[in-house]
Structure 1
């Protein structure tokens, strides 16, 4: 059974698996979780829904972003892209929705796209997610590019 606090179809919130996050944190050394709640924050510094990460500056930070996967996701991906242009590094865990407008407008202009092999088992879930996942890396150096580096990554 899926723990209500780990995922809600009403909010589209999926809790990042800790070991998955830890592997990326070892590589990127995150300073800010831009979409969190106190009970699931992955960084010491984080923005809650009340603080609204979409309204905050991320400039100069190395950000972790696992946004709500509902209708607002496009706004979060656009924000990640724009904040990278302002100097942030943003690493985002997203559903691999390659047919969406936000994917083509912003993800395809990221520095890197890492397709996750298999399906993630989000925090508190008994079963794997019903969708494929991707890690997208937005960097200041490549906020506007001809195309991202694309590769796959294994879930450990």
Structure 2
């Protein structure tokens, strides 16, 4: 088994599967995609890397599918802190990495977690993801 290949990836950006987003959007009516590109934004209002959602104030019903690299902890922390302000709710699509520092510090016992059964096939991928996924519902509980 090639462990190096399992944990390596050409990109940290995994575009949200449109069918998953559409199903969630029916329930939550998203208004802001907090980390997107012009090509993959799921909402009319969105923050691009140039705008840097980490430096912006988030409002409304937010969708977050952050880059899955080393910076992911910054996005999860930002989501946790933003909902505490009461200006927004956030639904995040995240890799189910329950062994990470960011998961224990900013998600576990703080926000609702919904594990996704099976492996997602992200929009720009021929194969299913090499990792499990989860939805985290950030709702302002400290």
The TM-score normalised by the length of structure 2 is 0.90
Alignment of 1:102 onto 2:105: no
SS at match of 2:45: coil
1-side partners of 2:55 and 2:113: how far apart? 25
Once the two structures are overlaid, the 10-residue window that deviates more, 117-126 or 104-113, is 104-113
Deviation of residue 79 (structure 1)?
A: 0.2
d(CA) in 2 for partners of 1:35, 1:101: 21
The answer to whether the Cα contact below 8 Å between 1:110 and 1:136 also exists between their aligned partners in 2 is no
* CA offset digits 1:23-51 (Å, max 9, x no partner): 11111110000010011000000000000
Q: Structure 1: any 5+ residue segments left out of the alignment? A: 1-8, 145-156
Partners of 1:16 and 1:65 lie apart in 2 by 9
Contact 1:35 1:48 in 2 (8 A): yes
Q: 1:110·1:139 contact (CA, 8 Å) conserved in 2?
A: no
- Alpha carbons 1:66, 1:92 under 8 Å: kept: yes
Report the 3-state secondary structure (helix = DSSP H, G, I; strand = E; otherwise coil) of the residue aligned with 2:108: helix
Instruction: Give 1:11 deviation, angstroms.
Output: 4.4
Q: Which runs of 5+ in 2 are unaligned?
A: 1-8
Deviation for aligned residue 1:126: 1.3
RMSD over aligned CA atoms reads: 1.4
Which structure 1 residue ranges, 4+ long, deviate > 6 Å from structure 2?
none
Aligned pairs for 1:86-101 (under 5 A) are: 86-87=85-86, 88-101=88-101
